[in-house]
Structures are given as structure tokens and as C-alpha cells.
A and B are shown apart, each in its own frame.
Chain A
Amino acid sequence: MTMQFNDETFRGDYTYHNSPEAIRRFPFPFDQDTYMYSVNIEQHPGGPKGTPFEKMFDVDEHYVAEMKDREITLAEDPLRCQSLPHMELAGWDLLELIMVSKARDYPDLFTLHRDGNDWHWINKPLGIEKKFTFLDATTLPCGPMEYITRQTQGDFALLHERDNNLWMDAGMITSQADWSLDFDVGMNFFEWHAPVPKARKMGVFDKALKFLLAVGQGQHYRRLNWTMTVNPRLDTSPENYHKWGPEKRTITPENVGQKQFLRVELQTFFRLPRSNALAFPIRCYLMNLEDIATKPKWGRRLHRVLRDIDPDLAEYKGFAVNQKTIVDYLSQFDDGAPTSPGIFPD
């Protein structure tokens, strides 16, 4: 195998780290020096070679460790993975999409042999080899959505379309930015987004829903979203808020560069062929301020964005209590020079 996978943790001793290559390819989410909500959607996949936009489902050095962390979270709380009864077919659609894409994009890591409905899947990084019958759930150890998302980085929501709306009727959610699948499963697009401030009045959700409903077979799109997380923790769930909440108050001027992470979500959308459901993978990338600032353009820009952000958004994204410490730290990297357009480092 050509890719090296990190031995690292996302809890406890937090040994998560990014290599120079991971820093270089980090999906920095700001294409200008200010931020406000937008429906920033573009086609997926597609992007410069080596970026996380190049392949359908990006696999990187954190793959094996992220899957171990998911296993721990699911063992503690099986309700993080739920699928309402009518969603099994969408689960098979997702399994097919991921297996076919990964075997094509990473032939040295994944192999898929298909003979009719007799499938043979080999996942080398996780040491899995499985023969099963496509569309027959009794031939897998668990449902198809759970099976494939235990082997794929990122959270996954499967959205059922009816009544001109999208309903979150299944999901694998173990690295969420503070929302509960168990509470939200079964909600429609406006209901599960209800707690997001300002955006409804700005028309963002109406536009986004209209766009998503129009996504057709074979069309794939992406957008970036972001928040801030103290420590490289994937499981920032509301369920465990009373456990990770105290960590948010441990930021000091001395440790902020190492402990404060920018959390970027690469969100993609795929229309699924049999179920007509939408797959909505939410892939999480974490990088601390110290590593971000190694790219001068990113250090300058992040300082300006976080300094000038709408106070409601700082509150919603959960970093208002640490905003001053963060901005003071980042100011050392901002010499006032102009920044180039786009998200990539110079």
C-alpha cells in the first residue's frame, strides 16, 4: 500500500496529528477574508491533483484511526446509526456508490469483484474481505448503510424525498458538530435546520432545498462548511456535551495554537439510483491553528475572518468564549498584506 495511516486518537490523549502533506491538502474553507452563509455549491468530484476534491470519497492518512474512533462511539451509543424501515434500499445504493468509487479511485487499497449480485469486497487498510449478495441484507453482519459507513470516513445522512421536501430518515453520525441524529431522524429539511440562526430568514434553506430537490441521477455536488473545536475530537455530539464541554474552557494564550482546531466539513450530495434518495456525506477535517498558520495566506485570512465574524455566528459555532484568545494569537500572522483569491495556499 502506498498510503501510510497514522496511529492516533481523537479522545483521551488526543494524539491526532497532520503530516506536512495533510497540511498542504487541507480544505481551507474561506475563499475571501470575510464569512457569511451562502449556498456555496460546486460540482464534485473535481479539483487540483492531490486535493480532497479530486476523488468521490477522499481517503487520507487518518482513515484507519477514524474508523477505530467510530467503532468506540458506536459501541457506547448504538443510536448514532439509525435507519427507518423504508431506507434499506437507499443503504444498498450508498454501499454500491462507495464500493465502486473506492475500488476505482484507490485500486491499491480497495477491490470489488462483481458477478451479478455475488459481490466480493476487499478493504486492505482495515483488513476486511467479504463475499456477500448485493440487496440481501442477511449476507452482511449489519444493514448495508452501517456496513459501508463503518469503512468510510465522514458522517452520512440519507435523505428520503417526498411531499416536495427531504426527510432525514437514516444516518451514521459519529463526528457531528453538535447535533443529534437520534433526535433529528425523521425530520424534514426545515425542521432539522431549525436551530441554525439567521439562515432561514436569509432564504438560504429555501434556495438549498430547491437546489437539492433538482439534483438528478448521476449528478454530484459539494460545499464546504466549518466550525471550531477544542482538541481534535470527532465526537462533539450533544449526547456527550457534558463530557467534552469542559474542554472548551481550557484554552489559554499559551496552548491555543495547539488545542484550537478549525473543523471543516466537506459536504457532498449524490442522487441514489434505486431509492431516489439523496446521500449526504459530511466529511470532517481537523487542523489546529499552528498548522494552519504555516501557510501565510491562511494565517492572515483566518485572523480576519474570525475577528470580523457576526457575533451570532461565533456563538452558534461555539467559539465565542474563546474568540479573543484565538484572534489575539492569529494576529501575529497577519501583516496586513492582501490575500490572493481562492482557498488554496500560495
Chain B
Amino acid sequence: MPKTEFSPSIDSRPTYSGLVSQGAAPAIMVADEAGAQALTDLAASDASVMDHAHVVLVGCGAAALGDVKPVALHEAPDFDAATPLVTQLLNTARMGTQIYLAGSEGLIGHVSALAFAAGMPVDEIQMEHRGSIARRMQCVHCKGITEDVTTDPFTCAHCGLTLFVRDHFSRRLGVFQGVCVDAETPGVVPETVEIQA
């Protein structure tokens, strides 16, 4: 699956310019199954990028990387399971460590927020979107996060309010903002549509 092209939007909506090798620098790479293809493409462009790379694959096995051989390869079943490991790698990263994130907006948002919290500068984090355009949405009312949102509006998995999907994005939290769609007229909800790229 190729890199996703998103339509132009507001300034807070993240854009993902794609992975470009920074050479044989220390690196932390996190990808899901669709994103793993971006890592193999990256390695094909410059094999040395894997020489000092820790790769964390979320929700898929090592087979997704084909014959690419990073210095260390970790597998985690989901974000929650990956978080302690990724946090540890980020907190012990040396100056100049490069971050490569590839996959869904949920994965990129989640891990980039961890990276910013660990003090990583924005220009040392590269991102490439692959696969599902599902969004990681935070309910502005109850603050609960609903993963893998594909429709607008959607139902908050925590408080049950019907929320519309904004393009406003918080890098600190790694989430888009969801706001009650029928706040002024309870029960009057627009027709549900699929989210577009």
C-alpha cells in the first residue's frame, strides 16, 4: 500500500512527509503492519539506516519486515503493550537519535506524543502514513480517547456522546478533537459519513 496523500487542511492538522534515511545514526522505528512496508522501502533506499535501529512492530510479526535486519527487533500486540518499551527507548536515547514512525494516524499520534514528552525535537521525528485513515479521537467533554474512528460523527467509547470529527490536532496528546455534534439540539444528528483522507 503506498504512502497516503491527505487533502489540504488547517495548520494544526499533521502532515506526514515520508521517511527519508538519515544514514547509520542511532534510530528508533515504530510501525504497524501497513507501516512495516515503509520501513522495508526505507531500508531498500539505504541499508545502513538499519545498522543502529531498534524496530518496534505493533500488532504484527517480524515477517512484515521481510529480510530487513535491524540491530534489534521487538514485537508488541498493541499500543498499550508497546508503550513501556518505546518510552524506555526514548528516555535512554542518545543525542542525535532519529525517530521513524510509519502506519496509521493512531500509531503516529500515539508514539509521536511519547517522543515529544521525552523531549525529542520535532525535526528528528519522521513520519509516513500508510494503511487505514482511521483517527485517534479525544472527546473534549470526558477526555476519553476512542481509537480507530472511521466515521463522522461517531459515538464516544467512554461517555457515549455523539461527536463530530475535527481536523484540530494536539501533538502533545497525539489526538484529534471530537466535539458533541448535537449539543444545541439534543438528538438532532447529521447523517454518518466515512472519514476521507
In the complex, the number of residue pairs spanning A and B with C-beta atoms less than 8 Å apart equals: 65
Rounded to whole angstroms, the CA-CA distance of A185 and B171 in the bound complex is 10
Which of these, A190, A192, A200, A239, contacts B141 with CB under 8 Å?
A: A239
Tell me if B161 and A184 are in contact (CB < 8 A): no
User: Which of B116, B138, B173, B179 has the most C-beta atoms of chain A within 10 angstroms of its own C-beta?
Assistant: B179
Other-chain residue from A186, A242, A321 in contact with B183 (beta carbon distance below 8 A)? A242
Given contact pairs A193-B11, A194-B10, A183 touches B185 in the complex (Cβ within 8 A): no
Q: Which residues of B151-197 have CB atoms within 8 Å of chain A's CB atoms?
A: 161, 166-168, 170-173, 177, 179-180, 183-186
Q: Mark A202-244, 1 if CB is under 8 A from B, else 0.
A: 0000000000000000000000000000000000001111100
Interface contact A321-B12, CB-CB below 8 Å: no
Cross-chain contact of B179 among A187, A192, A193, A241 (Cβ < 8 A):
A241
The answer to whether B166 and A241 have CB atoms under 8 Å apart is: no
Chain B residues 107 to 128 lying within 8 A of chain A, measured CB to CB, are 116
Query: Is the beta-carbon distance between A242 and B12 smaller than 8 angstroms?
Result: no
Interfacial chain A residues near B185, Cβ < 8 Å: 246, 249
Least CB distance from B69 to A in Å reads 37
- Chain B, 52-69, contact with A by CB distance < 8 Å: what is the 0/1 string? 000000000000000000
**Interchain CB contact under 8 A, A242 and B161:** yes
Task: Provide the bound-state CA to CA distance between A193 and B168, in Å.
Answer: 10
Q: Check B179 against A238 for contact (C-beta < 8 Å).
A: yes
Question: Is B143 an interface position by the 8 A CB rule?
Answer: yes
* CB-CB under 8 A for A195 and B166, given A182-B143, A187-B171: yes
- B177, A180: Cβ atoms under 8 Å? yes
CB contact between B11 and one of A79, A185, A190 (< 8 Å): that residue:
A190
| A192 and B12 within 8 A (CB) | yes
Contacting pair B168 A246 (CB below 8 A): no
B80 to chain A, nearest CB (A): 22
Residue A191 at the B interface, CB < 8 A?
yes
Q: Please tell me if the beta carbons of B141 and A241 are within 8 angstroms of each other in the complex.
A: yes
Q: Does A248 contact B (CB under 8 A)?
A: yes
Task: Decide if A253 is an interface residue (CB 8 Å cutoff).
Answer: no
Other-chain residue from B10, B13, B116, B183 in contact with A241 (beta carbon distance below 8 A): B183
Q: A191-B12, A194-B11 known; A183 and B138 CB under 8 Å?
A: yes
Q: Do A185 and B180 form a contact, CB below 8 Å, given A193-B11, A194-B11, A194-B13?
A: no
Q: Which B residue's beta carbon lies closest to that of A185? A: B172
- Contact A245:B173 (CB < 8 A) given known A191-B12, A193-B11, A200-B11: no
Residue among A183, A186, A190, A246 with max Cβ neighbours from chain B (10 Å)? A183
Write the nearest CB–CB distance from A196 to chain B, whole angstroms. 9
Any chain A CB within 8 A of the CB of B140? yes
B172 lies within 8 A of A180 (CB): no
- Tell whether, in the assembled complex, residue B186 and residue A246 are in contact, meaning their CB atoms are under 8 Å apart: yes
The size of the chain A interface, using a CB distance under 8 A, is 25
Residues in A whose Cβ lies below 8 Å from that of B138: 183
Taking a contact as CB atoms under 8 Å apart, the answer to whether A241 and B12 are in contact is: no
List A contacts of B171 (CB < 8 A): 186-187, 191
Report how far A182 CA is from B138 CA in the complex, Å.
11
B170 with A246: CB separation less than 8 A: no
Q: Which residues on the A side are within 8 Å of B10 (C-beta)? A: 194-195
Cβ < 8 Å to A, chain B residues 45-84 = none
Within 8 A of B (CB), among A145-193: 180, 182-187, 190-193
Q: Which residue of B lies closest to A179 (CB)?
A: B168
* CB-nearest residue of chain B to A190: B11
**Which A241-262 residues have a C-beta within 8 angstroms of B?**
241-242, 245-246, 248-249
Q: Which residues of A contact B170 (CB under 8 A)?
A: 183-184, 186-187
Question: How far is it, in angstroms, between the C-alpha of A248 and the C-alpha of B180 when the chains are bound?
Answer: 14
Q: Which residues of A contact B141 (CB under 8 A)?
A: 238-242
Cross-chain contact B180 with A194 (CB below 8 angstroms): no
Contact of A195 among B168, B172, B173, B183 (CB under 8 A): B168
Interface residues of A in 280-316 (CB under 8 A from B): none
Residues of B within 8 A of A242 (CB): 141, 161, 180, 183
Q: Considering only CB atoms, which chain B residue lies closest to A183 in the complex?
A: B170
Give me 29 A-to-B residue pairs in the complex whose CB atoms sit less than 8 angstroms apart, sorted by A's number. A183-B170, A183-B173, A184-B170, A186-B170, A186-B172, A187-B170, A187-B172, A191-B11, A191-B12, A191-B171, A192-B12, A194-B12, A194-B167, A194-B168, A195-B12, A195-B166, A195-B168, A200-B11, A239-B140, A239-B141, A240-B141, A241-B140, A241-B141, A241-B180, A241-B183, A242-B161, A245-B184, A246-B184, A249-B185
Task: A241-B180, A245-B180 are known; give 17 further A-B pairs, CB within 8 A.
Answer: A79-B143, A180-B177, A183-B138, A183-B170, A184-B170, A185-B172, A187-B171, A191-B171, A194-B12, A194-B168, A195-B10, A242-B180, A245-B183, A246-B183, A249-B184, A249-B185, A321-B184
Q: Which 7 A-B pairs have the closest CB atoms?
A: A245-B183, A194-B12, A186-B172, A194-B10, A191-B12, A194-B11, A245-B184
